[in-house]
Amino acid sequence: MASAEGQQHPLGIYYKIWVLLFVVSFFSYMVDYLNLQGMTRWGLILLFMFVKAGFIIAIFMHMKWERLGLKLAILLPPVFIAVLIWLMAIEGSHTELTRIEFFGESTMVPEEVHH
């Protein structure tokens, strides 16, 4: 009968990722400390958030050591949902602008049509 031994990962990688998460968190806090504004601020906040989430998923949730099929089954649905949310945001913006024009709250002056 075969022995049922589990896979062991070296503890050193967990400590290194833990320190790396502290470093990335430090940079994330520096965005607020430096009082960055606009798209730079939100771009950096999202970048650091995704980097931290990626490290946590890959190492602490053991995704790095899983088969490709399982990785895709877990990671692709949130990507598709994010794309659909992005498409709804684009469509919602268009719908809002169309309704503003239709209900007369617009400041746009229509051009006169000459026949």
The rounded distance, in Å, linking the Cα atoms of 58 and 74 is 12
| Residue ranges in the chain assigned as alpha helix (H) | 11-33, 38-55, 68-102
Does residue 93 fall inside a structural domain?
yes
pLDDT tens-digit map of 58-93: 888 888 888 888 888 888 998 999 999 999 888 877
The reported pTM is 0.61
Bigger pLDDT: 69 vs 110: 69
Tokens, residue 113: 């049509």
Q: Are residues 59 and 77 in the same domain?
A: no
> Residue 1 — very low, low, confident or very high, per pLDDT cuts 50/70/90?
very low
Residue 20 belongs to domain spanning: 9-65
Does residue 87 fall inside a structural domain?
yes
The rounded distance, in Å, linking the Cα atoms of 77 and 69 is 13
Classify the C-alpha dihedral 56-60-64-70 as positive or negative.
negative
pLDDT tens-digit map of 21-34: 999 999 999 998 99
Q: Are residues 58 and 72 in the same domain?
A: no
| Total structural domains within the chain | 2
Does residue 56 fall inside a structural domain?
yes
